[in-house]
Structures are given as structure tokens and as C-alpha cells.
Structure 1
Amino acid sequence: MPETAHIGRGPRMKSTATIDEDNKTAAILKCLDVAAILIDIDAVVTNLNEQAALILGIDRKEILGRSFFGLEEDNSHYVNVRAALRRALGYPSGEQQAELILHVRGRDHTYLLKPAPLRLEDGTPFGTMITLHDMTYLRDKERARTNLIATLSNELKTPLTSLSLAIELLQRKTPDPKQHEIIDTVVEDLARIRDLSDSLLNVTRDETTSIAVRNVSFFLPGS
């Protein structure tokens, strides 16, 4: 997608038919539940709905007819959306999407940005529709679930430790072989519960693999 700037150009003259089509497109975008921005083959913004204007923090009239890649750099929302679009476009076709977090209406929102190429019936491209799906509710639920699992796992550690110490004490002071069999069964059950607790805790962790790099001096034979 060429990043051709059209800032400074005068307004394009539109026929009545074109204006009618723009009005129809605007009406369709208004009915969408997601923020949507339409740009043509030259990356010029041809339409967008109010949700998109709100997220970008730009009035619709100020962005229409201008290059999406040539707007003011002092708007942090626009800069973040533009960066997310570039990230998404860098992925293979079918995987083009990117998440970003923006502070909108008093709180942080998580959006999933997706660019969708627009083509005519003969396959000729004529633009791109950029959508921003609000994923905040889903991400909030994921965080709540993760926090709950981590809390339950940590809360299990104290009683499990106490039970383990009590069972160990019983093992030492119980001479009856039959009672030892019962105690051994309890020990196995406690071990399974502890493994389950550890597994739950590991699910909530972002386990990343780190590679340590260090310089080592060595001499080759004959050097």
C-alpha cells in the first residue's frame, strides 16, 4: 500500500452519483458495531464512522480526503493506530492483524486492528477497510480468570504445607502397618493436589525462554 501523501491538495470534485454512493457507504459504516476506516488505493481516507473518529481523536471532516499516513504526528492515538496498521500489513496474508491499547473515554481499551483489502469483481484492488474491534471486555475476563487461578493456586500452598507436615509427623509416630497404608494414600493424594496447584500457577505465568550470551576467549592450535 503506497504511503502517498495528499496533504495540501484541494478537495476532489465529486459527481452527484459519487456523493450518493458516499452517503450510502457512510450509512453502512454507521450501522457497524466496530470502528471502520476506508482508504483508497493511494491510502487516502474516503470514509470512516464515528467510532473510528472517536478512537483516532480526529474529527471526520479533518481526515476525509487526506492520506492516512500523512496526518499530524502530535496525535498519539493516530500514531499508535498507524503503527499497528504497519505491523499488521507486515504479516502474511490471512494473518494481518495487530493489538493495541488506547485510552478512550476515561479508561484503557484493547483493540484488534484488521486491514481487509477491497477488490472489484474482476479482482482489481481499489482500497482497504481498516477495522478496530474492541476486545476490552474479553481481555478483562481473561485477566480476571488468570488472577483467580493464581489466587487459588497460592491459597492452596499454605494448607498443603500444613497437611504435609502433619502427615510426615504421623508417619514417624504411627507403628501400625495398616495405618501407614492409609497415610501413604493421603501422601499420594496431597502430591497430586500439589502438582495440580503448580500446574494452575504455571498456566498464569508468561513463561519466556531467555538466552544468556557471554564472551569466551580461546586460542586455536597453531595461532
Structure 2
Amino acid sequence: MAKLSVNINKIATLRNARGGNVPDLLQVAKDIERFGAQGITIHPRPDERHIRYQDARDLKPIVTTEFNIEGNPQHNFIDLVLETKPDQVTLVPDAIGALTSNAGWDTIQHQDYLIDVIAEFKRHGIRTSIFVDPVIEMVEGAKATGTDRIELYTEAFAHQYGLGNKNAIEPYVKAAEKANELGLGINAGHDLSLDNIQFFKQNIPGLLEVSIGHALISEALYLGLENVVSMYLNKLK
């Protein structure tokens, strides 16, 4: 079974829209774990428009499953990760001001930089994962950085699957096969939903973990958070 890590950025967005502490981010994280999710993911950005850096500090002692922090490894982000020491850090090449993640790393062009950053995190006992497109050369470049895992950027798959093109899974299968061959763990995320998650999981060999936020929280508006977490877990078996 692939693990489900729930990204709670959208809960923070809702909280920040009115100020105060409603909804209570920490309580939601506890509830999501109680509902069966195997991890909590956050993705703080420099402008703190949803997850705040202090949220990472506050979540660290209360998350009892896997704590995953995503982000662009700029100085403030690196300092935050080294301070909070999550179970996993996922490196994402977000441009400042980007609405959401929109590309994986060029693991060849940025290889030296990634080697240095990943080595620093691993010296502190933090498992590392890097966001990559389903391209064989990028997976091979990821291996050279020393990362423990890759996270396959699944927006292209999700978009094409929604149009009825199931062949969109093919580059992801090939990328996963190469990752398995190289001894890299495989995570995945971005636009995965109840509609496409089972098909994706069934076709990706060695899938360890998915990180899902926007779709899961949106679906929960209609179906309820506890029910939606359970539905994802069933599809990931």
C-alpha cells in the first residue's frame, strides 16, 4: 500500500482568510492522522500566504505520523528544516510568487547545488526527496544528487487522464522503472484526486507515498474530511 500524506496548505489558506485560528490547523492535522492518514505535508512559501514558518514549528511536536516539509531550498527554508527536523524534506523548484508548483527540477543543470543541499539535510538525519518530471534523464540526474527519493510531478498525467487519455501514465511508468532500477524511492503528487489516484497507484511500480492537498480538501467540502481520507486509503491499497 502506498502511504497517504495529506497536504494541509488549504486549511492554512482558509484560516488566514479571516485571521484568528479558525480552522485550527493543529487540530485538523491531529484529526487527519486520527482518520488514518500516514503523513502530514506542508509547503511554506516565502510570503507565508498559507502555511507560516511558525506552523512548521508548532506542528513538529504534534505530528505522530510522517512529517514532510516541501519547498524551495532557499536560506530561510533550509534553516527552518534544520530547526524542525521533519521526517522528510521534499525539494521543489518554486519560483518566488508562483501560484503553485509547476515543474520538476532540472537535476542536471542544478546538480551541484542539489548535492550540497541534500548532503546537509542527510547529515542531520532527514530523508530527502526531490520533485522531478517523468523524464529518464531527470531521474538519472536525481540519483547523482544523493537523494533518497524522487517525487513524480503528476500534473500532466492528471490533466490528460481527465480528458480520457490513459496513455498519459506511460512516461510515469518508465520513470518509476528507472527509479526502481537505480534504488530511488518513489513519491508522487500534484493534482492527484479520487478520480485518478487508483489508476495511478496500480500502474506505478514501487510507489511509496502520495502527497495530496488541494483535491482532497476540495472533495472534503462535499464528502467530509474523515470520509475522504478513508476513500483515499481504500484506493491506495
Q: Same fold (TM over 0.5)?
A: no
Question: TM-score normalized by structure 2?
Answer: 0.27
* TM value normalised by structure 1: 0.28
Rg larger for? 1
